[in-house]
Amino acid sequence: MKSNSILEFYDVSFTYPGDKQAVIQNLSFAAEQGEFISIIGPSGCGKSTLFRLLTGLEETIEGEITLDGAPAVKNRGAAGYMPQQDLLLPWRTIAENAAISLECQGMKKRDAYEKVSEFLEIFGLKGYEKKYPKDLSGGMRQRVSFLRTFLTGADVLLLDEPFSALDAITKLRMQEWLYKQWSKWNKTIVFITHDVEEALFLSSRILVITEKPIQKLREFTVPLPKERTRNDLSKMELVQMKQSLIELLKEKVMV
């Protein structure tokens, strides 16, 4: 593994209690500080299990997972998790929802709200702080969810299909918005998606799950600079990579 890796799996194996087949077996991979990595694979292949292990919700049977050099089970604050659903509390305002992660760290409510107010304009939420989740569009709700995850202060952010429930145009806008945030803050993002084009636009690397149990991740380096636009996806090498990824997933789809 590389010495500047912030996230590492060392020969990790995992099986859910009562199951005969392992989900993960002797898996090793790493992510470097500031990378945007997408993980793609068919439904039921174990993508979300990787996140459960990283957040300490599950523990490995064999091997070790480290975050910022410490075991993940003992360093849970090193990773912030954004689930597929925004999970905003309907009885709390937007500012109050965003402040939850700060309150969980022991910050007083008044101080937490002041901290949130510093980021509202940056995250496109200025003027919505006193609104409730029901008053916001799906894209705006996802911005609140991302801000809440960002305010954990973690260097590694785990995003589990955060845009899958959005309409097509909102999804494209949120992808562009997320990429700008990542470029600005230099966080390490690990992003689960089923959308190959989404993975190509956002990522520096794409890791593909092609087997179960997961023993190895097929790696693809996205040949785009950090400064990119959606038009770059029409380049021949990106079109060819997209086709290769789709064909790979079609061959390995699990039914």
Kindly report the backbone phi and psi dihedral angles of residue 225, in degrees, each rounded to the nearest multiple of 5, phi listed first: -75, 170
Say whether pLDDT at 187 is over 50.
Answer: yes
Tell me, what's the pLDDT at 1?
Answer: 47
Kindly report the backbone phi and psi dihedral angles of residue 75, in degrees, each rounded to the nearest multiple of 5, phi listed first: -135, 50
pLDDT tens readout for residues 88-117: 999 999 999 999 999 988 899 989 999 999
Tell me, what's the pLDDT at 252?
Answer: 58
Q: What is the dihedral of CA 76, 77, 83, 88, to 10 degrees?
A: 130
Bridge partners (DSSP) listed for residue 189: 36, 157
Say whether pLDDT at 40 is over 90.
Answer: yes
Q: How far apart are CA 166 and CA 164, in angstroms?
A: 6
pLDDT tens readout for residues 219-242: 999 999 989 999 999 999 999 999
Return the minimum-mean-pLDDT range out of 42-51, 95-104, 177-186, 197-206.
42-51
According to DSSP, residue 214 is labeled: B
What CATH number corresponds to the domain at position 242? 3.40.50.300
Q: How far apart are CA 159 and CA 112, in angstroms?
A: 23
Domain count, the chain: 1
Q: How confident is the model at residue 28 (pLDDT cuts 50, 70, 90)?
A: very high
Concatenated DSSP letters of 30-59: EEETT-EEEEE--TTSSHHHHHHHHTTSS-
Q: Which domain holds residue 203?
A: 5-252
Tell me, what's the pLDDT at 3?
Answer: 53
| % of the chain with per-residue pLDDT over 70 | 97
Say whether pLDDT at 72 is over 90.
Answer: no
* Range picked from 46-55, 190-199, 243-252 for highest mean pLDDT: 190-199
Q: In terms of pTM, does the model score above 0.85?
A: yes
Query: For residues 99 and 109, is the Cβ–Cβ distance under 8 A?
Result: yes
Say whether pLDDT at 152 is over 60.
Answer: yes
Rounded to an integer, the average pLDDT of 68-88 is 83
